[in-house]
Structure 1
Amino acid sequence: MRTIQILKAKVNLLTVDELHREIKRLIETKQKAVVDYLNIYSANIAYEEEWFAKFLNSCSIVLCDGKGVQMGAYFLGQEIPPQIAYNRWLWEFFSFCQTEHYSIFLLGAKPGVVEKSIEVIEEKGYKLSIDGYHGYFNKTNEENEEVVKIINTFCPDILLVGFGMPIQEKWVIENREKLNAKVIILGGAFLDWISGSVKLPPRFVTKFGLEWLYRLILEPRRLAHRYLIGIPQFFMRIFWCRLFGN
């Protein structure tokens, strides 16, 4: 698969159809693959944290999750990767899993959100083998081992993990070898979007790359530093990289 480099992290040049074909190949070859995503926030973490950059670059697939990454690619003179935003793509993904008869385990969010997400998925007419567990458990002791056991008992083709960055990446690093899932997809706040706990932005907001502003308005205290500091910081690093290299 073709990739480009944004600061210290790779991103794959994949359309949705190509992504689904690659996921199918990974499941069939039983490679225990990991799929993650790159946006401005994760690109900044990778720039500052060597372990995080190493993790992203070791993933089988890294998706372009945002206009910011596309703009970064443009300013660096790179090929612009297709954007695959989770809040839109996941419905296509569920259709793909239904067609291929892939089982899915959802992991993350507050207690009750997973159950609501599964309810919404089923109400929309998807017929999937699906289960899940919330993300509010101790990830360092026997409670974590019990969650791993629950996942392995279900033995999903695909495990979707949404703890937020970089917690979800650390958890995968520490537990990947113990998990029976064939493909692990990291999804951040995907369960909040599916369940309706957080409202999706209007399409025009997505079209103009203003999802960050929409989310900032919804959660100003939590996201102010990520966006008001992180976005200018990302583009300063992009321009520095363009002028002087890494």
Structure 2
Amino acid sequence: MSDEYASVAERAAREGSEVALAAFRTDIDVETKSGKTDVVTQADRSAQRRVIEVIRETHLEDAIVGEEDDELKTVPESGAAWVIDPIDGTNNFVRDTQVWATSVAAVEDGECLAAANVMPALGDVYVSDDEAVTLNGESVTVSEKTDPETFVVAPTIWWDFDRRDEYANACRAIVERFGDMRRYGCAQAVLSMVASGQLEATVTNVEVNAWDSVAGVHMVRQAGGVVTDVHGDRWVPGCTGLVASNGEAHDAVLAAAREIRPEG
């Protein structure tokens, strides 16, 4: 069954991403939602509608969890659901930066079965079922690096203006422990990169929205990595923080995540 879910997730993500790509680097209106950096465009809404249309061709009754419009905002504990982010990385999208993704995940009783993250401006398509992860059709796995001083680690999600001390702490904790740091502004891209070995880890201490995380978390796990909350417990939607790594030095990555809070 996961193969069927993976096929639907990939097709829905591809078709939604095509809608978004048609508006990329055009003169599109930008609106704000909860704050100055929380932006949305008509491309987000149109892409989400296309994703849902594709899912509904074969899964009429499944719940939909989506960032835009009036869809559910949390993953149901029971039953089938699809978790959608039409444009993860909208701030990149509106700045004409290529790092953004259309993300679709299939969930049953709260557990992800399959997922797709499509990044059309980069030409990358990540797909996972319950056995493996592929990038552009080729199987990928997490990095095999074991020495934290060779790791490249990304702080992810967003610390708002009233939490910039935590943002600074996250950066400091990373650069003091690991070989280098990246920040991409697209959580699904970052998690996909951990799954494919382009990054060794990513950290945040904030609660992460399901549409920013579920697909990528599934990919990291299926590619051989580890994903926990900041306490080291298995990550599930609604947890405090998200710490994903190749599993080779997860304790070191956790230690960095735990230094993010101002009180240490």
Q: TM-score, normalised by structure 1?
A: 0.28
Bigger relative contact order (CA 8 A; separation at least 6): 1
Q: Which has the larger strand fraction?
A: 2
Q: Which has the larger helix fraction?
A: 1
